[in-house]
Each structure stands twice: as structure tokens, then as C-alpha cells.
Amino acid sequence: MTDNATLWIVIISLGVGSFLLRFTFLGFVGDRPLPEWLLRHLRYTAVAILPALVAPLVVFSGEGGSTDMTRVLAAVATLSVGMWTRNVFAAIGAGAVTLFVLVYAL
């Protein structure tokens, strides 16, 4: 993993950065409304960044960048159950059970 100095730079920057994100409007902007185009883009940050981060981890999940089907199937199970039930725990359960069954039972 990374060295200690880097880790502390990350922790401190994320702490300060997250606080500023949370405080900006509540603290500085007050009651003034935000431009609609900005809000429209902000609505899609999480649903864009998180899948972009996960996709390579799923597709290149095997050794040396190959595709490990057990992990792909676990990801598909997590996603389908999550979208179907809208329940975080059901999704995690489906993914974890699929992964365990495929890794240990087969």
C-alpha cells in the first residue's frame, strides 16, 4: 500500500474537502438558489463515479487482468437484487452468497 505521509495527506485533505463540500451552501451561500444546470449535474455524480470505479474491478477481476466469472456473477447478483428490492442488505447478501457458493462449493 502507500506510505504513511501519503495516507495522512489523503485523510486530512478528504476531511477538509468533505467539510467544505458540506459547509459551502449552509455556511457561505445562505438562501441564494443554485443554477439549475449545476444541480442537474450534481444529481448524477454518485451514479456515475461509483459504477465507473467498480466496472474495471469486476471485468478485470482475475489473475493478470483476466475475467473471473465467479466475481462477475457475484456482481450481477448484487446489482440485480439491489435494483429489484432497493435494499442494500438484500443486495450485499445476494452478492456475498453467490461469491461464497461459487468460490467454495464449486
Partner 1 sequence: MPITTTKSAFWAGVRDGAPFILVAGPFAMLFGVLATEAGLNVFEVMTFSLAVIAGAAQFTALQVMQNEAPTVVVILSALAVNLRVAMYSAALTPYLGRAPLWQRVFAAYLLVDQSYALSHAKFEAVPELTVPQRMAYYFGTCLLVMIFWFGMSYVGAAVGTQLPQDLPLDFALPIAFLSMVAPMVRTLPHLIAATVAVIVGLLAVSVPYSLGLILAGAAGMMAGAQAELQLKGRTP
Identity (one letter) of the amino acid at 65? Answer: G
60/67 Cα distance (integer angstroms): 5
* Residue 64 C-beta: closest distance to partner 1, Å: 14
* Residue 20 C-beta: closest distance to partner 1, Å: 9
54/87 Cα distance (integer angstroms): 19
By the criterion CB under 8 A, which residues form the site for partner 1? 1-2, 6-7, 9-15, 17-19, 21-27, 29-31, 34, 37, 39-61, 71, 74-75, 78-79, 81-83, 86-89, 91-92, 95-96, 99-100, 103
